[in-house]
Amino acid sequence: MKTLFLHIGTAKTGTTSIQFFCRENEELLKQRGYCYPKSPKAYPFVSKAKNGHMLEATIRDKDGNRLLEEEEKDFQACIAMIKKQFETYDTVILSDEAIWRDLSLGHKDVLQKVTREAKEAGFVVKVVVYLRRQDLMAVSIWNQYVKAPQMVTPYNFEDFCKNMKMDAWLAYDKKLDKIVQEVGRENVIVRRFEPQNFYGGNIFQDFFYATGIPWSDDYVITEEVRNTRLSGNAVEIKRILNGLSKTNNVEYQKILRDVLLECSDTPSASLYSSEVLTPDEARLFMKDYEDCNRKVAQEFFGEDELFDMTMEDRGKWEPNNAYMLEDVIRFAGVLGMHLMKENNKLKKEVRDLKSKLKHPARAVTSQICKKFSGGSDEA
């Protein structure tokens, strides 16, 4: 039976790392009868390694109106790609963590549409989901919204949780009920995002175990972590900057993110070990999900507890901590060096342009020489 594995996240559960791993080992997977195809279309702010985005992409015009016909066209193009791969391979793997959230928001019928296409084409859909303890998930999502150039939230964690529809991410039982309804209980694979419980000791072997792909030592792991979070002080600096006017420029946001990621890898990040929530606050947060998690644990694992509730008290992050001034100064310095580098690059481009305008014949001759040199190399 032809099988489509649809890896739908959840967010902040190593999904980006899995996507890059599958992309980098694409040829080895094909040799073994498994296909992780490239997406036929690229989207702004969407990694090329994320190959399932066409199923639920939201496309808007310049005024922000959704282009439903364009979205449907992309969905059908993705289905056509899947069918094409099934001509050669028995197993196709697509991954996009946004599907988990969008089952409650913009694309509630995406699984229904996929399973309808699967029934007509004669392949089965299996959904793979990783679940993370909700307090850790919420903090990580907030961190991502502060960090990412296209999101730019100025809210602190508490206000973020109040303003966002967190159940779109965290109400695991309701979402899994909907997935089971669409693809069948036997086709839903639920894994815990708890590194101590990963099969084989890492997320990649665990994912292959979940999907039934044989593991071997010739798979290449270039990076264990792909989506690095900001440290406590760095995320606070970025959060404050997000609240300034005119900070919704994506290029500007990218510069701030990259500089602050560099600042996150500093001694203060390890010296000032702290968390957004204390253990008591985390347990209170988790109270709202006790019944939800018990239901999921019993249905999918035959247990009463879904997550390890062990919590280390590392202290609560405070804005007036002893390392904040040092990190602000470091941020200003790194940003200044970054801008100086960009300025020097622009100066060089201007000098080169002036030289070409001053000596046009020399510039044309240089281009001709380069062309013939390149042509002779290819020959």
- pLDDT tens digits, one per residue of 239-295: 999 988 766 778 888 888 889 888 876 666 666 778 999 999 999 999 999 999 999
250, part of any domain:
yes
**Do the domain assignments include residue 106?**
yes
Sheet strand arrangement including 91-95: 34-35, 91-95, 2-7, 123-131, 188-192
Give the residue from 289, 320, 319 showing the smallest Cα distance to 305. Answer: 289
Looking at residue 9, its pLDDT comes to 87
What span, in angstroms and rounded, lies between the C-alpha atoms of 29 and 22? 8
Tell me: do 335 and 346 sit in the same domain.
no
The count of other CB atoms within 10 Å of the CB of residue 63 is 5
Is 154 inside any structural domain?
Answer: no
Selected residue with higher pLDDT from 305 and 1: 305
Number of domains in the chain: 3
pLDDT at residue 378 in the model: 42
User: Average model confidence (pLDDT) for the chain?
Assistant: 89
In a shared domain, residues 331 and 269: yes
Lowest mean pLDDT among 29-38, 87-96, 139-148: 139-148
Q: For residue 94, tell me if it sits in a domain.
A: yes
Place of tokens 């549409």: 113
Do 332 and 249 reside in the same domain of the chain? yes
For residue 315, give its domain range.
232-340
Q: Assess whether 196 and 327 both reside in one domain.
A: no
User: For the ranges 305-309, 324-328, 352-356, 365-369, which has the lowest average pLDDT?
Assistant: 365-369
Give the global pTM. Answer: 0.85
Distance CA 287, CA 159 (A): 19
Give a yes or no: residue 220 inside a domain. no
Say whether both 200 and 301 belong to one domain: no
| Confidence tier at 204 by pLDDT (50, 70, 90) | very high
